């Protein structure tokens, strides 16, 4: 999420809240069997593609909850593949 256009005084608070939300999301995902650095939405996309019942049932629910974002779980999966949640300096580490 880009907070650059937010007012200066609220920007650090918004970033902190967003980071805590993502960390909580990833912790819950890991608790239920996902990868430690993966969001619930990405995990549900993977489960759905694998034909697992949890993915088939819960992915449409999460996509509905994030109604303003078309195909939210798939986009979250792509975001994970692109390492979007990492700081820019850690996204594309070369040899």
- CA proximity to 73, closest of 85, 83, 58: 58
Per-residue pLDDT band for 38 (boundaries 50, 70, 90) equals: very high
Confidence of residue 13 (pLDDT cuts 50, 70, 90): very high
Closest CA to 29 of 19, 37, 17, 21: 37
Judge whether residue 52 has pLDDT over 90: yes
Total number of residues shown for the chain: 95
Please report the pLDDT score of residue 59 as a whole number.
Answer: 97
C-alpha 56/C-alpha 77 separation (Å) is 15
Q: What is the pTM of this model?
A: 0.82
């Amino acid at each position: 999420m880009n907070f650059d256009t937010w007012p200066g005084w609220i920007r650090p608070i918004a970033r902190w809240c967003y980071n805590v939300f993502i960390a909580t999301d990833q912790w819950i995902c890991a608790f239920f069997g996902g990868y430690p650095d993966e969001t619930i939405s990405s995990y549900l996309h993977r489960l759905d593609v694998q034909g697992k019942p949890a993915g088939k049932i819960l992915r449409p629910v999460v996509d509905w909850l994030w109604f303003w974002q078309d195909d939210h779980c798939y986009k979250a999966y792509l975001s994970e593949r692109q390492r979007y949640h990492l700081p820019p300096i850690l996204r594309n580490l070369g040899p």
